[in-house]
Amino acid sequence: MKNHTGAKNSPIKPSNWPLENLPGLSGEYRDRLVACGITTTRQLIRKASSEEQKLALANQLKIHIQHIRKWVAMAQLACVPSVGCQYCGLLLHAGIASVNQLAGVPIHRLHQQLKRVQVSTMHRRDLCPSIDRVTQWIQQAKVLSNCHR
């Protein structure tokens, strides 16, 4: 399908989630973000897109900027529909901190990293997402990263 400019429309749209779905975000911090007018992952990404904005938000919330960086990274990864809030934390623990990074990582290398994280944290290899799921994440990340260039 093409739009009026002749370019192909992306069948994949970035996902947007309520902040309460973002893993690792306590109720207290979520309430502080809501008080700042941030209720969704997209709003968090928009209001903390630059280092200056992250620092300003951290100062406003009276927290360390590292918390903001972590939440924004997870919110960005959660934009990938097949990743969502269910797997964004796992990807971050595996060393993937952005959609562009996810788009560029080799499938088998990421799958191995995910297995290592699952075994070291959960002591369960069987909880690791399948190669097919990891492939889907990377394919969707490529589409989304190409949309933002």
Tens of pLDDT, residues 6-23: 344 557 899 999 999 999
Of all residues in the chain, what percent are helix, strand and coil, respectively (each to 5)?
65, 5, 35
* Pairwise CA distance, residues 105 & 100, whole Å: 9
The model's confidence at residue 148, banded by pLDDT at 50, 70 and 90, is: low
The residue among 149 and 117 whose pLDDT is bigger is 117
- Of 9-18, 84-93, 102-111, the poorest mean pLDDT is in 9-18
Note the pLDDT of residue 12.
Answer: 83
As a whole number of Å, the CA-based R_g of the chain is 16
Note the pLDDT of residue 4.
Answer: 34
Note the pLDDT of residue 2.
Answer: 34
Mean pLDDT for the stretch of residues 51-78: 96
Q: Calculate what percentage of the chain has a pLDDT beyond 90.
A: 80
CA-to-CA dists, residue 5 to 119, 143, 149, angstroms: 48, 18, 16
